[in-house]
Amino acid sequence: MHPVFGDWTPRQGQLGWIDSTMHGGVTTMISAGEVHLPGRPKDIVGLKALAITAQRAFDNFRPGGVKVLAGAPVIEKGMVESDFKELAEAGVGLLGEVGLGSVKAGYEAKEMVAWARKYGIQSTIHTGGPSIPGSGLIDKDVVLEADADVIGHINGGHTSLPEAHVCELCEKSSRAIEIVHNGNEKVAIAAAKAALELKCPHRVILGTDGPAGSGVQPLGILRMVAMLSSIANIPAELVFCFATGNTAKIRKLNCGLVEVGRAADFVFMDRAQHSPAPGLLESVQLGDIPGVGMVMIDGIVRCGRSRNTPPATEIPVVVSGAH
């Protein structure tokens, strides 16, 4: 996703969108670049300063308790290896979508992605046609040559590459396959099916790529889960893993899996009231969005019954030791 500062996004002039997303069952959000910042600096010292500031600001401020991993610089022509070293030493752990800046050629992106990787910075590449006026096309050959850690919005954001090229990316690359809400839905289904056919469901992660021209979707991840499970006919429990454990492993998060020593980040869900399905997983496979009954982040209850999802049939009750 694309944060700016605080719980505000200028893309749709909206306040409180991160807190709203927590009500949609999201406990950690990962920046693919603070690209919507009005007047975003594109000179090298400016883009580094912005990345460090964004990383610090969201480290110090958690809307709704959500962990926002921000500070994802958009790389520009002229950057040298020492820039990546400096960013890493300053605490920057992500690159914004490669291709949103002036680095659009495969050979150039490849060199910078490798420098980033050398210093422990994870990279994501924009895939497909331009998102908004001013951005550009990144085709399959550039994606393959750049070899970023995450094939960002493989189903386009919104304009997708041809379905055959997307399937080719799944096959020829070994990198993570990010499928997003603000993309082409038909190709989203094709990409998920291709990953399963290639026996690499562990590479699939879900995102929103929001805020976007299509809006801000607090239920974006749950909508992706319901869409892939129902229309692509993938078992709901597997699709939930795309959004949780896979993301945790690929993004090296301390949450997303239930294991001793990990952060106590939980989303308690049930089938929405009056869903015709008997249980949560069956309801998702019918295409229904589940009801969130409680969200806990770092062991603290951040919300009870969600204000955004359809109401859950059963919700958890805190019986003792409440904060």
Q: Which of 131, 308 has the CB closer to Zn ion?
A: 131
Question: Where do contacts with Zn ion occur on this chain (CB under 5 A)?
Answer: 97, 126, 131, 157
Nearest to 284 by CA among 271, 273, 268, 269: 271
CA distances from 168 to 53, 136, 163, 177, 228 (A): 38, 21, 9, 12, 20
CB of 142 to Zn ion, least distance (A): 13
CB of 273 to Zn ion, least distance (A): 36
Q: How far apart are CA 84 and CA 102, in angstroms?
A: 16
* Helix or strand (DSSP H, E) at 178: strand 176-180
Cβ neighbors of 122 (< 8 A, separation 6 or more) are 93, 94, 95, 116, 149, 150, 251, 252
Q: Which of 96, 310 has the CB closer to Zn ion?
A: 96
Q: Which of 62, 104 has the CB closer to Zn ion?
A: 104
Q: How far apart are CA 142 and CA 295, in angstroms?
A: 39
CB of 309 to Zn ion, least distance (A): 27
Q: Which of 183, 290 has the CB closer to Zn ion?
A: 183
CB of 126 to Zn ion, least distance (A): 4
Token digits of residue 239? 């699709």
Nearest to 53 by CA among 75, 34, 29, 79: 34
Cβ neighbors of 44 (< 8 A, separation 6 or more) are 76, 78, 79, 83
Q: Which of 4, 226 has the CB closer to Zn ion?
A: 4
CB of 128 to Zn ion, least distance (A): 8
CB of 295 to Zn ion, least distance (A): 27
Instruction: Count the Cβ atoms, other than its own, within 10 Å of residue 213.
Output: 12
Q: With beta carbons less than 8 A apart as the criterion, state whether 247 and 27 touch.
A: no
Q: Which of 71, 183 has the CB closer to Zn ion?
A: 183
Q: Which of 160, 309 has the CB closer to Zn ion?
A: 160
CB of 155 to Zn ion, least distance (A): 11
Q: With beta carbons less than 8 A apart as the criterion, state whether 238 and 285 touch.
A: no
